[in-house]
Chains A and B, each alone.
Chain A
Amino acid sequence: GAVVSQHPSWVICKSGTSVKIECRSLDFQATTMFWYRQFPKQSLMLMATSNEGSKATYEQGVEKDKFLINHASLTLSTLTVTSAHPEDSSFYICSAKSSGRGSYNEQFFGPGTRLTVL
């Protein structure tokens, strides 16, 4: 149980294009999902918190108009990197909070999406 998938697992795109990444909770409902970014040899940095049916909450310094988040259902959240540039190249990882699985609601991570912008 508690499986989270991401698609695609990797993507290469040209500068200026937009890329959509999907995050799905496969065997549980997730009212809250999180989007992280990880640069090489660095730890995970939270970008935004995605809540089903409402607007995402972005961390300080993260441009909400560049990183569009949609959480349309209890099992799917999407992150769209708009007008991607080489500096957006990173490992993007989502996680889902397992609502109803114990009082502390652990987070489970998807396998990540490696984005390379040429």
Chain B
Amino acid sequence: QKEVEQNSGPLSVPEGAIASLNCTYSDRGSQSFFWYRQYSGKSPELIMSIYSNGDKEDGRFTAQLNKASQYVSLLIRDSQPSDSATYLCAVKHKAAGNKLTFGGGTRVLVKP
């Protein structure tokens, strides 16, 4: 069983709509959660970090964390074609030091 799981997609979203991405993790000791965006051929770029249950909003992005259910999600409002990328969920566990465990990523396609 993978430690961090994401639907690989592609998730096709009309321009202006909301893209909803989900990520589940297996280790209950996980403490820190991150969403990265990766364009093709480029390195990941940090979008959001979330550490406590609930919602965290930053511009058009909202991260949601539910530790009891072991999932973290990312909402992208008013999706733009420039949001087309692969979104990586990453989890950090206290016992693992500073190492991040990445999910396989969800590819998002925003169609004009």
Interface set of A (CB-CB < 8 Å, partner B): 32, 34, 42-44, 46, 49, 93, 97, 104-112, 114
Nearest CB of chain A from residue B26's CB, rounded to whole Å: 15
Q: Which residues of A contact B105 (CB under 8 A)?
A: 43
CB-CB under 8 A from A106, the residues of chain B are: 34, 46, 49
Name A102's closest neighbour in chain B (CB-CB): B49
Which residue, of B44, B45, B49, B105, has the highest number of chain A Cβ atoms within 10 A?
Answer: B44
For B32, B41, B43, B105, which residue has the most chain A Cβ atoms within 10 angstroms? B43
Given A93-B44, A109-B44, A112-B43, also A46-B100 (CB < 8 A): yes
| Contact yes or no, B49 A46, CB < 8 A | no
State the CA gap A110–B46 with chains docked (Å): 11
* A111 to B44 alpha-carbon distance, docked (Å): 8
Asked if B59 is at the interface of the complex by the 8 Å CB criterion, the answer is no
20 contacts between A and B (CB under 8 A): A34-B100, A42-B104, A43-B103, A44-B44, A44-B88, A46-B99, A49-B98, A93-B44, A104-B32, A104-B49, A104-B51, A106-B46, A106-B49, A107-B34, A107-B100, A108-B46, A109-B36, A109-B44, A111-B42, A111-B43
Q: Which 5 A-B pairs have the closest CB atoms?
A: A112-B43, A109-B43, A43-B104, A43-B102, A93-B43
Write the residues of chain B forming the contact surface with A, with a CB cutoff of 8 angstroms: 32, 34, 36, 41-46, 49, 51, 88, 97-100, 102-105
Residues of chain B contacted by A107 (CB below 8 angstroms): 34, 46, 98, 100
Q: B87 to nearest A CB, angstroms? A: 11
CA distance A93 to B41 in the complex (A): 11
Q: Which residue of B has the minimal Cβ distance to A59?
A: B99
- Interchain nearest-CB distance for A109 vs B (Å): 4
Determine the chain A residues whose CB is within 8 A of the CB of B88 once the complex forms. Answer: 43-44
Contacts of A112 in B (CB 8 A): 42-43
A112 to B105, CA, bound (A): 18
Contact residues in A for B100 (Cβ distance below 8 Å)? 34, 46, 107
Q: Given A43-B102, A104-B49, 6 other A-B contacts at CB below 8 A? A: A46-B100, A106-B34, A106-B46, A107-B34, A107-B98, A107-B100
